[in-house]
């Protein structure tokens, strides 16, 4: 039995609210006593954190708290596990929401500030002094897999988290009997979707 919806112009229930400017988003939510936060992120792709001076940010008017990765580790104790283990013997990159000893990509969270409003928190970020010891960088999978490549995790033998093979059919015979074999290397843009799931992202400390 047809419902009459297929092919019909159906108004979404939220349209009037959004079109008349009455939509409410997370940034519109304000409750008594609420603070807003901002995160200082690393400009370095790979570097050790030598020192962090947050004294000026802590003294800035309107700032309630300044939190570094080392302080966070003292509070949380246990690092965030990677819950998506798909391959046996896969090496895990347990970490914290803020970098503790080193940063491994541009944009890694280093210090978090909580203040009376977003503008104050962002102003405080500019008062934080972080000294980095820059480390070698690789920018491609080929370079990362090369012998002697700089390692992201010193306790790993190399930069490989895991390897696996999914066999399908008789590949050797298929190639041996093929009339034509074409070999080429293809590069594709990222294809991974990032839904707004309520679980904390690995190593980034952000909600995906």
Question: Among candidates 204, 189, 5, which has minimal Cα distance to 93?
Answer: 204
CATH of domain 28-136: 3.90.1170.50
From first CA to last CA, the distance across the chain in angstroms is: 40
What's the confidence (pLDDT) of residue 59?
A: 98
DSSP state of 108: -
What's the confidence (pLDDT) of residue 68?
A: 97
Q: Give the total residue count for the chain.
A: 208
Model confidence band, residue 196 (pLDDT cutoffs 50, 70, 90): low
Beta strands in the chain (DSSP E): 36-41, 47-53, 63-68, 102-103, 109-115, 129-134
Highest mean pLDDT, choosing among 26-30, 131-135, 169-173, 188-192: 131-135
DSSP state of 26: G
Cβ neighbors of 83 (< 8 A, separation 6 or more) are: 199
pLDDT tens digits for range 150-172: 999 999 999 998 888 888 899 89
Average pLDDT over residues 62-88: 87
Beta bridge partners of 52: 130
Listed by start position, the domains of the chain span 28-136
Model confidence band, residue 206 (pLDDT cutoffs 50, 70, 90): very low
Beta bridge partners of 68: 111
């Amino acid at each position: 039995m047809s419902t009459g919806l297929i092919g019909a112009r159906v108004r979404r229930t939220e349209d009037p609210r959004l079109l008349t400017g009455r939509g409410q988003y997370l940034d519109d939510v304000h409750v008594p006593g609420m603070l807003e936060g901002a995160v200082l992120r690393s400009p370095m792709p790979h570097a050790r954190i030598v020192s962090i001076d947050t004294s000026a940010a802590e003294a800035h008017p309107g700032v309630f708290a300044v939190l570094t990765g080392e302080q966070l580790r003292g509070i949380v104790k246990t690092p965030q596990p990677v819950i998506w283990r798909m391959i046996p013997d896969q090496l895990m990159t347990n970490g914290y929401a803020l970098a503790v000893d080193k940063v491994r990509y541009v944009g890694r969270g280093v210090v978090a500030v909580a203040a009376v409003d977003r503008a104050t928190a962002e102003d405080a970020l500019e008062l934080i002094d972080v000294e980095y010891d820059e480390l070698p960088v690789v920018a491609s999978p080929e370079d990362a897999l090369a012998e002697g490549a700089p390692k992201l995790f010193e306790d790993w033998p190399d930069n490989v988290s895991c390897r696996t093979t999914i066999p399908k059919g008789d590949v050797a015979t298929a190639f041996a009997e093929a009339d034509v074999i074409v070999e080429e290397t293809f590069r594709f843009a990222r294809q991974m979707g990032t839904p707004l799931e309520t679980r904390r992202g690995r190593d980034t400390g952000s909600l995906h």
